[in-house]
Structure 1
Amino acid sequence: MRAGASDVIITPPLPVQLAGHKGQRVAVGILDDIHARCVVIQDCDRSVAIISVELLWLSREHISQIRTIINSLTGIPTSDVFIACTHTHSGPDTLDWYDFAPLVDKNWLSSLFRLIASSAYIAYMALQPAQVSVASTTVSIGVNRRLHSHRGVERHPNHLGPVDSTLDVISVMSLDEKRIATILRHGTHPVVLGANSLLISGDWCGVASKQTEESIGGVCLFLNGAAGNVNPAVWTNSTVAEMERIGRRVSGAAIEAALREPLPEHGIAANSITLKLDPFEHPYLKRAQQERLRSDKAMLVEIQAIRLGNKIIIGLGGECLVETAKKITDASVDHRILIVSYANDYIGYIPTLEQIAEGGYEARTRMLSESSIEAYIDSASQLAISSAKGR
């Protein structure tokens, strides 16, 4: 097995509209640079690229363009490229969310795609003999945000609601025990800075990546899990100091888990399915959704599986809720399944049918019909099962 990693800064030129909250939020400064981080893992003749991008979202079409560039630079098949956004709410918009804002600069988008692709090229060119190991621990930074009241389901802290406190840590090491990369996976919204912040930032998960890199070396990718109905326990509009405290807390837990030196797990594989589903009108991404419907005549959505040793990463193109993730992992009867949201697309929230019936923000803010949600969850479960069996 061989592996290489890279870290590329993708901070846009200012001014730029920040994405993730309603209202005009034009960035006036840079709190911290945002990054595209990549690890390429090669086993025999197969190479898989995993990329973490500090953006709110990228569309299916964006991903297609980036994958094509990566293929031309490295020869890695487009099907073996996994690209997930961290979902920071303090990064630039890429989907033309806001009617009042100028359209996203196409020249900047092209430059962004090339930078993201270059992270894979640099990682590919740095391939060296390596081994991969996996560990898990827990970190409690989030709170469920679907509160049931006499008014229905509201977006407020629900301290009795489910969260997934699991922090998965994948270590990629050279044969002389030098760290090439660390992959962190945990599910909590990166919204500590909140709607009042006008500074570019990767939020707490950006801090976690940087702190991990500084402490144990290598490149640290962050993948967001079932974060759809989980916010930081500090809620929103908190301070930079609080954001950094949470990031350091996650990094500290990750470093402790990574240094336990679990037995290495060997073997990689990639698999994906594309579904043609019926739409549900998204309340504020209408322009982006209508554009893809004009092109594809339906909601074409991808679910991707990446197998690293005995762990299966299932990449979902929307905001997976805790209960949705549980349905997928329970159906597989396999605790090796790692759910990653915001992967290879953005299709809004992915609630369960029960949550759609309950109502609330997450139930309304989706792009798939109820029957399509059911088909999507079932297909993700089946992909997890077949990937775990090595098919």
Structure 2
Amino acid sequence: MPAPQHFTPREMIEKLVSFDTTSHLSNLELIAFVESYLESHGVFSRRVMNEEGTKANLFATLGDEMQAGGIVLSGHTDVVPVEGQDWSSDPFNVVERDGKLFGRGTSDMKSFIALALACVPAFLKDGPKVPVHFALSYDEEVGCLGVRPMIESIIRDLPRPQVVIVGEPSSMKVVNAHKGIQSYQTTVTGLEFHSSQTHLGVSAIQHAAELISFLMTLAEEMRERGDASGRFSPPYTTINVGTIKGGTALNIIPKSCSFLWEYRCLPDADPAEIVTRFNAYAEEDVLPRMRAVFPGAKIETVTRAQSPGLAALEGDPGETLVMKLAQCNSAEAVSYNTEAGLFQLADIPTVVCGPGDIAQAHKPDEFVELSQIAECETFMRRLADYVSGRSV
């Protein structure tokens, strides 16, 4: 067995950020590094590969893997692109300025993974009486894709964990509720014609605009319904149209138009309502009028990503433990989406708690404050005390 490797939290953050794991690239170099590091401490890891063999989840256990009531430390290894962003420094080389560490993934969310890994010697020091599981995923940023087969493996092969801690940036506050996300691409196909003959053509852009207008009507309805819990900001299900493409020239009735849209629904809302109503409007109202002119007209909507919300489980023992570790008196609700809802869907209690501010995620010059790193390190030390049988 190789000699145990030791990294300070800062060194581990620098190491993980140095791997360019943008979602369209492989994460296998980072995974191999983590495997080697854990192996040096006598910890076995197992990969859950994607179908192409280009990416992997990594699952590892410190302590007895078959003991019930373990603590899962979960994080995604992929990051969003840096192309087109104006960075002040190399995004894959951590730079410290003004009490902050700058680099892609410092906030979202390699710092949490790094701090958990740096704390492995502390978790193992007295032989953990409660197992600590590491669950590192791929492709969270493109629809929470990678974690799904890993969750299936956990519930199939292992005793139920006590709680999953998803270390997304929450400013080290405990989050027990967040919105779900559904995203789609709609493509409208009409009939090209000279723009002077609008009665003979079918404008894909015009009818796409009707569909988008309908979505905005639904958005206003969702706003009026509001949020009965009063916990979310904004306090309602939101709908957004992100991109639209269509048309060839000003004097040609456009044949094709496509747009990307999403909604982020409250965790107690029916996640299928909006797309069901949208499809009904498209099929029963818009499409018949298009086909009255051109029978070959089409409206096609395909799912891009779906990830459930996280619902509060007030009084859950796992949540209570994390509240104690974070020294929080109350839990928060947030509007961004994480992998936590998928763990909860598998009947595993889950909360979100990690260093950094979500406001810094996905932006140029992404950063995490050193004070957040220190707070998370203290959190991990308390967790090490807990799994070793010492009081929190």
- Using structure 1 for the length normalisation, give the TM-score: 0.23
- Using structure 2 for the length normalisation, give the TM-score: 0.23
Structure with bigger strand share is 1
- Greater relative contact order (Cα 8 A, min sep 6): structure 1 or 2? 2
Tell which structure's C-alpha radius of gyration is larger.
2
